[in-house]
Amino acid sequence: EVQLVESGGGLVQPGRSLKLSCAASGFTFSNYYMAWVRQAPTKGLEWVASITNSGGSTYYRDSVKGRFTISRDNAKSTLYLQMDSLRSEDTATYYCTRETVAADYFDYWGQGVMVTVSS
């Protein structure tokens, strides 16, 4: 059974940093692209960042470029999101997702972790 379990969320002041983790199990992690998708309170879904299966290439939405870094440790089957210079508009539930082999849609999602940016 595929499982994605996020951790590391919480309350953080604007301008500070936070690192999210996602522990994956039930599939061969190193075979799949992975991504983070977020959802602001009572809002829609927004793709944040993706990483190739080897970790050699990364992709970001414009609003987080230069502030967020997606990475992975295939030996530990873990995905990360380092978030720096956080802003109030980054407040959201962050979901760890698996991208399918064939195309850029997400077939499995974690339960999500809340990040609140507020002073």
Partner 1 sequence: IQLTQSPSLLSASVGDRVTLSCKGSQNINNYLAWYQQKLGEAPKLLIYNTNSLQTGIPSRFSGSGSGTDYTLTISSLQPEDVATYFCYQYNNGLTFGSGTKLEIK
Whichever of 27 and 47 has its CB closer to partner 1, that residue is 47
By the 8 A CB rule, do 118 and 13 touch? yes
| Least distance to partner 1, CB of residue 14, Å | 26
The verdict on 2 binding partner 1 (CB under 8 A) reads no
**Cα-Cα-Cα-Cα dihedral sign, residues 105, 25, 51, 21:** positive
Q: Where are the alpha helices (DSSP H) in the chain?
A: none
> Binding of partner 1 at residue 100 (CB under 8 A)?
yes
CB 84 within 8 A of CB 17: yes
Q: Give Cβ neighbours of residue 44 (< 8 Å, ≥ 6 apart).
A: none
- What's the min distance (Å) between Cβ of 106 and partner 1? 7
Q: Is 104 in the site for partner 1 (CB under 8 A)?
A: yes
Ranges within 34-53 binding partner 1 (CB under 8 A): 44-47, 50
Instruction: Give contact residues for partner 1 (rule: CB under 8 A).
Output: 44-47, 50, 95, 100, 103-112
